Amino acid sequence: MTDNFIQLEKNDILRIGIKDENGKILDGVFEFDFEDSSVLLKYQEMIEKNERNKKWLKNQYLIISKRQDVKGKKLLSKNEEDKLEADKTFFKRTEEIYNMFLGENGVQKLLNGRKLSWATLIKIDEIIEKQFEPFLIQYKDRLEQKYKDKYINATKKAEEIEVLK
């Protein structure tokens, strides 16, 4: 009896490794399967949710700034405490939003265990823009071309054949 196997190929999979500040390769790799069109949907959803989250924080700051400030529980005023609490909620939501796209613990991988802060948030945005986005744009363009070749150009060819008959 012989065994038959199907050889699976891993086409269009982007793997991005992570190095620390000294160039040491860290555990954890980001993997995006571009055969799965939901990658673009997840990226788009991440952008939209991130924008809504930023608007939410801006509104919280606006609401807090319109209130009369009073002494807080300890060192900070009540409004300052509320702003820090809004920041805490914002960072928690932001981490969930980014992990939706990057994968489980994606933010922690990018930050090598550091907590999300304003400075690290800027770094993550730069990494996504410079390291991930170019591949997503290439994938989107290839997907559009495949669609045009398969459906639009095929329809035009079929119409041309009909005209020739």
46 is a domain residue: yes
Q: Which pairs count as long-range contacts for 13-20, CB under 8 Å and 24+ apart, including other chains? A: 14/135, 16/131, 16/132, 18/109, 18/110, 18/112, 20/112
Answer yes or no: is 2 within a domain.
no
81 belongs to a structural domain = yes
Nearest to 45 by CA among 97, 91, 122: 97
Question: How much is the pTM?
Answer: 0.78
pLDDT band at 147 (very low <50, low <70, confident <90, very high): confident
Q: In this structure, is residue 25 part of a structural domain? A: no
For the cut 90, the answer to whether the pLDDT of residue 30 exceeds it is: no
Domain tally, the chain: 1
Cα–Cα distance for residue pair 4/135, rounded to 1 Å: 36
User: Measured on CA atoms in the order 136, 140, 141, 145, is the torsion positive or negative?
Assistant: positive
Range of the domain at 106: 40-152
Give tens-digit pLDDT for 116-140: 999 999 999 999 999 889 888 888 8
